[in-house]
Amino acid sequence: MTQALETQPVHWHRQPGPAPAPAQGAWSRGAVLALLQLPFMALVQRAQAVHQQHFPAGDIELASLLSVKTGGCPEDCGYCPQSIHHPTGVPATKLMGEDEVLTAARNAKAAGASRFCMGAAWRSPTDRDVDKMAGLIRAVHGLGLETCATLGMLEPAQAQTLAGAGLDYYNHNLDSASDFYPEVIATRVYQDRLDTLGHVREAGIKVCCGGIVGLGETREQRAGLIAELANLNPAPESVPVNNLVRVEGTPLAGNEPVDPFEVVRVIAAARITMPTSRVRLSAGRRELGDGIQALCFMAGANSIFYGDKLLVTGNPDVVDDRALLRRLDLPITSELAK
């Protein structure tokens, strides 16, 4: 359940200067919790200062996610509609063909995306699956897009195969703090996730790794997740922050929504603790509304997932996203490079 927000008033003229931040890789859970418990405006102001220092252009990276193999996953993640353990009605599909994936990737690029992520609902792919994905990665990379994949747990040789195909990023989220993780997932342990991240790093692939707000965790456990991420060596280059999407049929469908200002706090703490990472406002962001999304950008979010389904130019969600960024005078990364 969401903890109560701090109620003490903010007296800007009485606020002392912020204590020096720990070196990246040295953030304790307590230090992150102290950030999350700062008066809201003071926390956002501090995060914005860090953001301006490291991302002076203030640009927003647009990343598109395509499910290239949906449903039938043997994992029991309590939030996921693609699990075979949950009666959500999501059918299992086969891996998409190259032509279909390339059509989606071209549409994503035309709509302004600079990174294209391909997700497959596997616990751990077979070597044959990885070979097929390597072909898709080469094809998408040939369009001039950054490539990302999320395929479940990997063995070292599989990570090397993906690296050889030109994969830029691998997404494998920690989801939550280690002490809360067993409350959400029973079919694998936290170390399994850390091992895959290690294999990806050793293969020379950049890491995309974040978590979910609203699983039922406390604020202190959110601090634990952020500390886990910040202390990875090095910290992830991309940090997706997801707001739980409550899907009927999943065990977490009945969770109470988290106060949206808590999402802003997590974004701000991620920006402060991982100052050079792209912090991505991901799943569940549209449910937050335009005002909260604007606060998230103020707090240091500088990437969004763009177009939740197979993209076509003119997708209403895409049009709305671009309109919001224009209203906020936020440039798009791919357009700055032109």
| pLDDT (tens digit per residue) in 74-86 | 787 878 887 777 8
Per-residue pLDDT averaged across 151-165, rounded?
96
CATH (domain of 124) = 3.20.20.70
Q: How far is C-alpha 201 from the geometric centre of its chain's CA atoms?
A: 18
Asked if 117 and 66 touch (Cβ cutoff 8 Å), the reply is yes
**pLDDT value at position 245?**
84
Residue 1 domain-assigned (yes or no): no
Residue 44 domain-assigned (yes or no): yes
**pLDDT value at position 21?**
56
Give me 104's structure tokens: 């989606």
Tell me which of 301 and 83 has the higher pLDDT.
Answer: 301
- Enumerate the β-bridge partners of residue 115: 63, 146
**pLDDT value at position 25?**
57
| pLDDT (tens digit per residue) in 169-198 | 999 999 999 999 999 889 989 999 999 999
Residue 18 domain-assigned (yes or no): no
Residue 7 domain-assigned (yes or no): no
Rounded percentage of the chain residues whose pLDDT exceeds 70: 89
Residue 234 per-residue DSSP state: S
| pLDDT (tens digit per residue) in 255-273 | 889 999 999 999 999 999 9
Residue 311 domain-assigned (yes or no): yes
| pLDDT (tens digit per residue) in 322-337 | 899 999 999 999 888 6
The backbone torsions φ and ψ at residue 32, rounded to the nearest 5 degrees and listed phi first, read -70, -40
**pLDDT value at position 73?**
83
| pLDDT (tens digit per residue) in 129-141 | 999 999 999 999 9
Residue 264 domain-assigned (yes or no): yes
The domain of 53 spans: 26-336
Q: How far apart are CA 160 and CA 154, in angstroms?
A: 10
Tell me which of 299 and 76 has the higher pLDDT.
Answer: 299
Q: Which residues, 6 or more positions from 333, have their beta carbon under 8 angstroms from its beta carbon? A: 59, 60, 61, 62, 114
Q: How far from each other are the two terminal CA atoms of the chain, in whole angstroms? A: 45
**pLDDT value at position 338?**
65
**pLDDT value at position 287?**
85
- 20, pLDDT greater than 80: no
- 200, pLDDT greater than 70: yes
- 311, pLDDT greater than 60: no
Residue 287 domain-assigned (yes or no): yes
Residue 10 domain-assigned (yes or no): no
- 253, pLDDT greater than 90: no
The number of domains in the chain is 1
**pLDDT value at position 316?**
54
Which helix (H) or strand (E) is 49 found in, with range? helix 40-54
**pLDDT value at position 310?**
34
**pLDDT value at position 22?**
58
**pLDDT value at position 3?**
41
**pLDDT value at position 285?**
85
Show which residues are catalytic. Answer: 73, 77, 80, 117, 148, 208, 280
